[in-house]
Amino acid sequence: MSMDVAALGRWGIDSLRELGRAGLLLLRVVFRLPDFKKGFPLVMQQVYAEGVLSLLIIVVSGLFIGMVVALQGYHTLVKFGAAQQLGPLVALSVTRELGPVVTALLFAGRAGSAVTAEIGLMKATEQLSSMEMMAVDPLRRVIAPRLWGGFISMPLLAIIFNTVAIYGAYLVGVKWLGLDAGAFWSNMQTSVDFHLDVINGLIKSVVFGLVIVWIALYQGYYAEPTSAGIANATTRTVVYSSLATLGLDFVLTAMMIGGW
Amino acid sequence: MTNLVEISNLHFERNKRVIFDGVDIVIPQGKITAVMGPSGTGKTTLLRLIGAQLQPGEGRILVAGENIHRLSTDALYKLRKKMGMLFQSGGLFTHLNVFENVAFALREHTKLSNDMIRSLVLMKLEMVGLRGAQNLMPSELSGGMARRVALARAVALDPQLIMYDEPLSGQDPISMGVLVKLIRTLNDALGMTSIIVSHDVTETLSIADYVYVMANGKIIGQGTPDAINQDKSAQMRQFVDGLPDGPVPFHYPAKALDQDLLGVS
Ligand SMILES: Nc1ncnc2c1ncn2[C@@H]1O[C@H](COP(=O)(O)OP(=O)(O)OP(=O)(O)O)[C@@H](O)[C@H]1O
Ligand SMILES: [Mg+2]
């Protein structure tokens, strides 16, 4: 019994210590970009690596999710004679929830894991150490651009996801099931509030993006410098950032609905 | 003559295992100082301590008169611009080709034009005989070549202090000879101060001005190469002559072999 308590205590202390270390890392990175002239191209490279390279999976998933939601929604709405409300149904569920959350989950799997593996390997092969000895701070040169790259990419990816998903719903609802295009769009326009729905969704995606790259960078930077260590770190990135996304989504939704 | 690096009463341990137990070393300016010792004694660790990548448990390390572990981050990075380090594994940036690896520090720390950088990089690569390899990626190099690129990169900024971690291991006799001469030339012509870490006894004794030999966390001997060669103490003879038996253990600390094999704990 007392052993269990001790183990619980140790686990608690370890978790807190890890959280503290991650917090310090974030603090040391956020405001430490190299000057604008050097920092800008580095951040753009990361927007490419984390954002542009994730486009394909985001677009394809967005399209299918939009189509599936439209199909499911239509069959339910039609029972109540409310098929005209398909536009609002899709637009609201996508901008408020599916867009930010699914984008974040895909982003964690596609970009987060890549970031962790890359940083972990740079550490294991002493690339980060030799950078330090060349008087170049890896936190500035390697870590910070990746953080900002993710911060910028995530909301852009979410916007693209939303757009494609709504277009997918249009294809299914209007082109396939024969709803009236005018009604589809105008009902959507009247019921979606730009601030409440679209902006709140984007706020979520910004938060998710930041948390995911933060986790990915932390896991990579503190990975055990071995093959198994990097493999574990990559797995942890995907698991932790998915859980963090879903947990934070609940918190943010509660805050937003609570009229925050 | 002044000392560029002064290490006094250095204590350091890793996972409760004592690596340094009161070590004093001075590195005089403009000389080549060698640190030798059996594998696993902490030679690489020593270089990392000098570069302030590790914190000592006790004792202090002065580099150019400054206690390197007390410096602010900015001051530390400023001091590191004057240091070069050749890592045992090379540590080349795998996403950059050979040319860009050598150019990295120049691009980061100087405002030189691209033409200037190009000339400087090609000169450094010529020095290690790899100008023709400038467009290769690190994955396309052999181990010895990668080490030589790393050497060119380490001296790109013409540092005052250069630390070589095993520069000679993995080199064929020809490049070994060239490297030995190169290290000497860099030191004398450019006025660098060099620290060489190695267990390659003959080659190291042939270039060093002064030698420290470490074992079991302590300095077991020091002196000029001649003095080392003539040292009579059993520990030193064993290391210099490469004898398997003697006071310097070849084995990592362990319980007796028969007990281990029989599974007695
Ligand atoms: N990251 C680490 N964590 C724990 N112990 C370590 C670590 N790195 C090295 N050690 C231990 O520190 C000791 C000294 O290691 P170091 O790499 O400095 O040896 P070395 O003298 O450079 O050996 P070699 O000549 O083989 O390169 C070794 O016994 C090793 O077990
Ligand atoms: Mg070593």
Checking if the pLDDT of B251 tops 80, the result is no
Optimal mutation site among B55, B82, B104, B165, interface A, most CBs of chain A within 10 A? B104
Q: Each residue of A167-187: pLDDT tens digit?
A: 999 999 999 998 899 989 999
Contact yes or no for A132 and B53 at CB 8 A: yes
Q: Which residue has the higher pLDDT, A36 or B57?
A: B57
Q: Each residue of B86-116: pLDDT tens digit?
A: 998 889 999 999 999 999 999 989 989 999 9
Q: Each residue of B9-27: pLDDT tens digit?
A: 999 988 888 899 988 999 9
Q: Which of A103-112, B16-25, B140-149, B158-167 has the highest mean pLDDT?
A: A103-112
Q: How many residues in chain A?
A: 260
Report the pLDDT value the prediction gives residue B119, as an integer from 0 to 100. Answer: 94
> Kind and range of the H or E element at B76?
helix B73-80
Residue B233: pLDDT band with limits 50, 70, 90: confident
List the one residue out of A252, A135, A4 whose CA is nearest residue B68: A135
ipTM higher than the 0.90 cut:
no
Comparing alpha-carbon positions, the chain B residue that sits nearest to A121 is: B94
User: Which of B77, B81, B87 is facing A130, going by the closest CB pair?
Assistant: B87
Checking if the pLDDT of A260 tops 60, the result is no
The DSSP letter of residue B252 is P
Report the pLDDT value the prediction gives residue B175, as an integer from 0 to 100. Answer: 82
Contact B153, B101 (CB under 8 A): yes
The pLDDT mean for chain A works out to 92
In angstroms, the separation between the Cα of residue A45 and the nearest Cα of chain B is 13
Report the pLDDT value the prediction gives residue A258, as an integer from 0 to 100. Answer: 78
Q: Is pTM beyond 0.90 here?
A: no
Contact yes or no for A127 and B91 at CB 8 A: yes
Checking if the pLDDT of A34 tops 70, the result is no
The pLDDT mean for chain B works out to 87
Checking if the pLDDT of B247 tops 80, the result is no
Which distant-in-sequence residues (6+ apart) come within 8 Å of B71 by Cβ? Answer: B52, B79
User: Which of A121, A122, A135 is facing B81, going by the closest CB pair?
Assistant: A135
Checking if the pLDDT of B1 tops 60, the result is no
Q: CA B34 to CA A91: how far, in whole Å?
A: 71
DSSP A11-64: HHHHHHHHHHHHHHHHHHHHT-PPPHHHHHHHHHHHIIIIIGGGHHHHHHHHHH
Q: Each residue of A235-255: pLDDT tens digit?
A: 999 999 999 999 999 999 999
In angstroms, the separation between the Cα of residue B244 and the nearest Cα of chain A is 31
